[in-house]
Amino acid sequence: MEKLAEEKNSNFIRNIIDNDLESGKHKYIVTRFPPEPNGYLHIGHAKSICLNFGIARDYQGKCHLRFDDTNPVKEDLEYVDSIMEDVRWLGWEWNDKLFFASDYFDKLYEYAEILIQEGKAFVCELSMDELREYRGTLTVPGKNSPYRNRSVEENLDLFRRMRDGEFPDGSKSLRAKIDMASPNLNMRDPVIYRIKKTEHHRTGDSWQIYPMYDYTHCVSDALEGITHSICTLEFEDHRPLYDWFLDQLPVPCHPRQIEFARLNLSYTVMSKRLLLALVKEGYVKGWDDPRMPTIAGMRRRGFTPEAIRDFADRIGVAKANSMVDFELLNFCVREDLNKKALRRMAVLNPLKLTISNYPEGSEELTAENNPEDSEAGNRSITFSRELYIEREDFSENPPKGWFRLAPGKEVRLKHAYYVTCTDVVKDDSGMITELICTYDPKSRGGWSDDGRKVKGTLHWVSAAHAIALEVRLYDHLFSIPDLNDMEEGKSYLDYLNPDSEIINTMALGESSLQEAQIGESFQFLRLGYFNADYDFTADKPVFNRISTLRDSWARQQNKSSSGA
RNA sequence: UGGGAUGUCGUCUAAUGGUAGGACAGCGGACUCUGGCUCCGUAUGUGAGGGUUCAAAUCCUUCCAUCCCAGCCA
């Protein structure tokens, strides 16, 4: 049993950790999640968060939350707050292990002076353009900077004056002295400090110079005693530099950097740049638009932390670039909500149904809240002579295999009665406006013990007792699964799905829906899972569709129509 | 064309020289007061070619394909 659980989560990183534990290299494990506070977290970050915090949990280690805040021009406190909220919401706890790379600015500076003193770093005065020229290209080696051979004293003096704000932005940089001919561009004397006279959201105006990622990250890891520094594939080329810094410096330990493939999800994008553009240009309504793959957006849509964590477990971790099918996410959220969501009835496209032999007045019927959860109890629903059913649940000329309502056909109204359609009322244009039915009083509760076969069961609401709903129907953000497959000359904007959000204001729901709480999820019977939106009020109930239910009838129809 | 990586069912991912397995998607069926859920069954895969071995997804070799790298971003 235990073995199975282990195997379920097995991946190459956990194998490395197992080996390190077995060999005695480490006694306990420390990982970290290191976001830059320059944007909102998305489902791709959730993969990394679950990986790092999940390892800490399973190995009884620790996972640090560390903000990689070394570039004050891009970063903001607003993002720090949203990131902490999202990580917590996903269900993870860092306890006292909250860090900021900016906490290490003093130490980083001290180490930089050591590099200078040992002749391993120098102050360079090449402009950005010149630096690019000197760097060479992928196939031609770079050239040494003319400032590369300054004395230690001169470098130290210049570096201190950089720190003290004597020079303008961009006029000088501190560079590591490694190898301008290296085939790895990251090793061609990389910049480790740049001048930025910008206020930092935590350190204020204490610093005029800020350390670069490559230098900061490895040192921060080492200072925190990280054992396994897990990052994405594009940093693979940076690993030699990660190791180089740690080899030069008197750091307390030397963490191992391990790279894995970031998450790609079909029909959406993970790029911070594109996501930001969608928000800024107004193609979506904000970072928490329910169509966004951001944690904030998915939370608003109604995805649960449990579903997202389950998803992260199921997609696994590997080094090969991949694209995960969005359907897996739908599967995870359905599986979670099936157990937890209370069932309610709502009609999205109402068609009036009048029961000719039902008396005036109404009656209360009992409906179970969740057949998957006996603890969920029952609720009362009101039945009367005039109802609404789903327009799609009636067909005048039903296709083969049709279980639903049709002229002369009998169906069950869920939790209520059997009804038989006797007449179809149309307007002048031929549009069906009303169905006339009779009901069988003996089938009260939706059941008869005379062995009658009633295949179809429909959801319904009572016309006089239903409440008006606004229902926001969401679908994929983009119309194609992989935006790398764009046609020549087209932009990702050309592939925005025009039907990604459909606002339905004619929907009707059973009255108990009025008492829903914001953020509460329901299964609208036969329709899908819905979540009370932030805009929800008792006067104007608003629900987001999280996902539909599986619909084998629709699939069967698609099959026969496309096969014809 | 330099360097770094990666190729296993449609998709994601296990298998650390010894029966290629799981999940999602698909298909078929049972059950059902949700055409939901559940249950049962089922097809499909080691990029290609050589080699080593009793035995290769795994080791060697030659190809092929894809991804990443020329920010004072992370």
- Model pLDDT for residues A369-404, shown as the tens digit of each residue: 999 999 999 999 999 999 999 999 999 999 999 999
pLDDT in tens, A454-491: 999 999 999 999 999 999 999 999 999 999 999 888 99
Pairing status of strand A542-548 against strand A467-474:
parallel
- Per-residue pLDDT, averaged over A245-270, amounts to 98
Q: Which residue is nearest to nucleotide B12 (CA to C1')?
A: A315
Residue A269 CA to residue A43 CA, distance in Å, equals 10
Which of A402-439 are b and which e, b meaning 16 or more Cβ less than 10 Å from the residue's Cβ?
bbbbbeebbbbbbbbbbbbbeeeeeeeeeeeeebebbb
pLDDT computed for residue A122 by the predictor: 98
Reported pTM? 0.96
Q: Give residue A170's region: left, alpha or beta (phi > 0; psi -120 to 50).
A: left
Long-range contacts of A298-303 (CB under 8 A, 24+ apart): A298/A43, A299/A86, A299/A89, A300/A531, A300/A533, A300/A534, A300/A544, A301/A474, A301/A531, A301/A544, A301/A546, A302/A333, A302/A519, A302/A521, A302/A529, A302/A530, A302/A531, A302/A544, A302/A546, A303/A329, A303/A333, A303/A546
> Above pLDDT 70, what percent of chain A?
98
pLDDT reported for residue A13: 97
A550 CA from B6 C1′ (Å): 35
- Write the burial class of residue A561 (CB in 10 Å: 0-12 exposed, 13-18 middle, 19+ buried): exposed
Residues pairing with A30 in the sheet: A62
Kindly indicate whether the ipTM for this predicted assembly is greater than 0.90, answering yes or no: yes
Q: Residue A67 above 90 pLDDT?
A: yes
Rounded, the Å distance between the CA of A6 and C1' of B70 is 43
Closest-approach nucleotide to residue A315, Cα vs C1': B12
If we measure between CA atoms, which residue out of A263, A287, A261, A262 comes closest to residue A274?
A: A287
> What residue has its CA nearest to the C1' of B34?
A526
Q: Which residue among the candidates A57, A143, A262, A352 is catalytic per the annotation? A: A262
- Helices A326-340/A305-315 angle, 10° precision: 140
**CA→C1' distance for A319 and B51 (Å):** 28
For residue A562, the model assigns a pLDDT of: 59
pLDDT of A272 higher than 90? yes
Task: Express each pLDDT in A329-346 by its tens digit.
Answer: 999 999 999 999 999 999
Residue A6 pLDDT more than 80?
no
Determine the Cα–Cα distance for residues A241 and A216; give it in Å rounded to an integer.
Answer: 11
Q: Is A272 a catalytic residue?
A: yes
Please report, rounded to whole angstroms, the spatial distance between the CA atom of protein residue A494 and the C1' atom of nucleotide B9: 33
Q: Which residue is nearest to nucleotide B24 (CA to C1')?
A: A328
Mean pLDDT of all residues belonging to chain A? 96
Average pLDDT score over residue span A532-550: 98
* Set A107, A120, A161, A272: catalytic member: A272
The answer to whether residue A249 scores a pLDDT higher than 50 is: yes
The helices-and-strands tally (H runs, E runs) of chain A is 14, 25
Average confidence (pLDDT) over A70-95: 97
pLDDT band at residue A8 under the 50/70/90 scheme: low
> A312 pLDDT exceeds 70?
yes
Q: Which nt is closest to the CA of A554, judged by C1'?
A: B35
CB A478 within 8 A of CB A269: yes
**Which pLDDT tens digit goes with each residue over A112-147?**
999 999 999 999 999 999 999 999 999 999 999 999
